[in-house]
């Protein structure tokens, strides 16, 4: 049976009426460079429902999407998972303790500051050029035991490279301790729809999580959904979601979430099976030519390991020159994000381009090891100033610095800048990492009078 698409049905019926528009948006649905989308780009009118207080087609659509993701509640968003994460943290009260695994996206730092929760960071050790390490499960469970006052624990699942924590184990412990389990599942929108993938966050026992529909499904950029279990107060969460939601959401974006969900409910199992078959054959073909790929929990993330002194950044550039756009690169890897929209011809072109450009042999050595720091200092309200890297040690950071993608901060605002931090930064810059927040040096807190 086809999966219902109430928003799409409403939009088609509304467009068929050919009403004259003396309302927003200003294009009035008339011809322009994107006329097809403009026809369905409407505002809140009688019969079109309202995302901030849905009762009709949007409410029904969200119910269907919640069921598809093993959730009790779903809230559509058009500000990406960053908007969802702001809402997730703002569900709690200022001063509430939340345990936070330190390998988080930069949006989590912003959400912590905006919400006023008290974070307890769980440190994570990384090494440049190696697959990003997950937090140690034992460290997460130990933090939960040491902080019984915590209202929640936050983790990333799956991470940017498709690696997954044992979320069900963490969920069981969270429930025993009366904590909610929060998950940044931005890269997990596709997980509910195939037995060949890791369990999705809802099935694994998360209580509050977000997915970016646009990352891994056939939905438009910016689309994301906040999900909640029955342990979450839905009205309280809706108020938090609406704090970070535009009052003029795009109906085409909402419809693209619905369309992607319907496609996956109807055909996702078969389509993902075909995708995984293409990935397996591509991996095998490249392996036969001496080109290795890392093992990932989510097989739709194809992570090529570069050889013979070639960096991931160099291989990514050479693939770009041959018409292949990759998701990301690091010192030793190229990350390819595949979805059901990729065809066999796409994979054939990829394999041919990799054979033409990839060096075969021993990979270059990983870069320096470093700790994603976990100390917490009082927020310093003083202004900031740019200083040279050589002048930064001993000062207090006024902003985080992170490699993008994936956007995990190396350090956080109000943490002290150390000699080893600057050495790491210089090493990463030298090897080709794109570091955001270090464009003009280091942004630090002002010192002395008049700061």
Please report, for the domain that includes residue 174, its CATH number: 3.40.640.10
pLDDT at 404: 77
195 and 93 share a domain?
yes
pLDDT at 1: 66
146 and 105 share a domain?
yes
283 and 246 share a domain?
no
164 and 238 share a domain?
yes
From 218, 236, 265, the end of a domain falls on: 265
Pairing of strands 384-387, 73-77: unpaired
Total domains, the chain: 3
346 and 436 share a domain?
no
Which ranges of the chain have pLDDT less than 50?
450-451
From 265, 294, 311, the end of a domain falls on: 265
CATH assignment at residue 301: 3.90.1150.10
pLDDT at 380: 61
185 and 156 share a domain?
yes
60 and 205 share a domain?
yes
Rounded Cα distance between 11 and 14, Å, is 5
- The answer to whether residue 23 sits within a structural domain is yes
Rounded Cα distance between 120 and 179, Å, is 14
CATH assignment at residue 420: 3.90.105.10
Rounded Cα distance between 223 and 329, Å, is 24
Q: What is the pLDDT of residues 75-99, one digit of tens each?
A: 999 999 999 999 999 999 999 999 9
What is the pTM assigned to this prediction? Answer: 0.93
- The answer to whether residue 432 sits within a structural domain is yes
Residue 322 lies in domain: 267-357
- The answer to whether residue 366 sits within a structural domain is no
From 300, 327, 357, the end of a domain falls on: 357
245 and 303 share a domain?
no
- The answer to whether residue 174 sits within a structural domain is yes
- The answer to whether residue 363 sits within a structural domain is no
pLDDT at 92: 98
- The answer to whether residue 365 sits within a structural domain is no
- What would the two tokens of residue 43 be? 């505002």
- The answer to whether residue 43 sits within a structural domain is yes
43 and 76 share a domain?
yes
Contact assessment for residue 244 and residue 90, using Cβ atoms and an 8 Å cutoff: yes
68 and 118 share a domain?
yes
232 and 221 share a domain?
yes
Q: What is the pLDDT of residues 370-404, one digit of tens each?
A: 888 777 766 666 689 999 999 999 999 999 999 87
SS in 3 state form for the chain?
CCCCCHHHHHHHHHHHCCCCCCCCCCCCCCCCCCHHHHHCCCCCCCCCCCCCCCCCHHHHHHHHHHHHCCCCEEEEECCHHHHHHHHHHHCCCCCCEEEEECCCCHHHHHHHHHHCCEEEEECEEEECCCCCCCCCHHHHHHHHHHCCCCCEEEEECCCCCCCCCCHHHHHHHHHHCCCEEEEECCCCCCHHHCCCCCCCHHHHCCCEEEECHHHHCCCCCCCEEEEECCCCCHHHHHHHHHHCCCCCCCHHHHHHHHHHHHHHHHHHHHHHHHHHHHHHHHHHHHHHCCCEECCCCCCCEEEEECCCCCCHHHHHHHHHHCCCCCCEECCCEEEEECCCCCCHHHHHHHHHHHHHHCCCCCCCCCCCEEEECCCCCCCCCCCEEEECHHHCCCCEECCCEEECCCCEEEECCCCECCHHHHHHHHHHHHHCCCEECCCCCEEEECCCCCC
- The answer to whether residue 93 sits within a structural domain is yes
Q: What is the pLDDT of residues 110-150, one digit of tens each?
A: 999 999 999 999 999 888 878 888 999 999 999 999 999 99
pLDDT at 33: 63
287 and 238 share a domain?
no
């Amino acid at each position: 049976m086809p999966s219902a698409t109430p928003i799409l049905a409403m939009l088609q019926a509304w467009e068929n009426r050919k009403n004259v528009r003396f309302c927003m948006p200003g294009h009035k649905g008339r011809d322009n460079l994107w006329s097809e989308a403009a026809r369905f780009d409407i505002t809140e009118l009688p019969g079109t429902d309202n995302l901030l207080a849905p009762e009709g087609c949007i409410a029904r659509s969200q119910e269907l999407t919640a069921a598809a993701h093993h959730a009790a509640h779903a809230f559509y968003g058009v500000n990406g998972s960053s908007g969802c994460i702001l809402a997730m943290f703002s569900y709690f009260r200022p001063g509430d303790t939340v345990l936070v695994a330190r390998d988080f996206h930069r949006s989590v730092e912003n959400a912590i500051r905006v919400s006023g929760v008290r974070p307890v960071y769980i440190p994570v050790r990384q090494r440049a050029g190696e697959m990003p390490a997950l937090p140690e499960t034992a460290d997460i469970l130990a933090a939960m035991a040491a902080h019984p006052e915590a209202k929640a624990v936050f983790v990333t699942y799956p991470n940017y490279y498709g690696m997954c924590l044992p979320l069900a184990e963490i969920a069981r412990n969270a429930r025993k301790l009366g904590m909610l389990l929060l998950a940044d599942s931005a890269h997990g929108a596709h997980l509910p729809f195939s037995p060949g993938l890791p369990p999705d966050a809802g099935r694994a026992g998360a209580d509050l999580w977000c997915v970016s529909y646009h990352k891994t499904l056939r939905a438009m950029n910016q689309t994301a959904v906040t999900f909640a279990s029955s342990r979450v107060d839905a009205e309280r969460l809706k108020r938090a979601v609406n704090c970070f939601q535009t009052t003029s959401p795009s109906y085409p974006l909402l419809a693209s979430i619905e369309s992607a969900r319907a496609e996956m409910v109807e055909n996702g199992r078969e389509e993902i099976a075909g995708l995984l078959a293409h990935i397996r054959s591509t991996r095998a073909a490249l392996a036969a030519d001496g080109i290795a790929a890392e093992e990932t929990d989510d097989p739709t993330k194809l992570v090529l390991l570069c050889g013979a002194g070639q960096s991931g950044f160099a291989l990514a550039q050479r693939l770009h020159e041959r018409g292949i756009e990759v998701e990301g690169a690091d010192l030793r890897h190229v990350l390819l994000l595949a979805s059901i929209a990729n065809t066999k011809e796409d994979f054939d072109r990829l394999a041919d381009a990799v054979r033409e450009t990839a060096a075969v042999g021993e990979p270059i050595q990983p870069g320096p090891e470093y700790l994603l720091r976990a100390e917490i200092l009082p927020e310093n309200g003083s202004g900031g100033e740019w200083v040279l890297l050589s002048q930064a040690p001993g000062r207090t950071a006024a902003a985080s610095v992170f490699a993008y993608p994936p956007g995990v901060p190396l350090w956080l605002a109000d943490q002290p800048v150390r000699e080893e931090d600057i050495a790491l930064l210089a090493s990463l810059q030298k090897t080709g990492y794109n570091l955001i927040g270090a464009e003009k040096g280091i942004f630090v807190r002002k010192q002395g009078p008049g700061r």
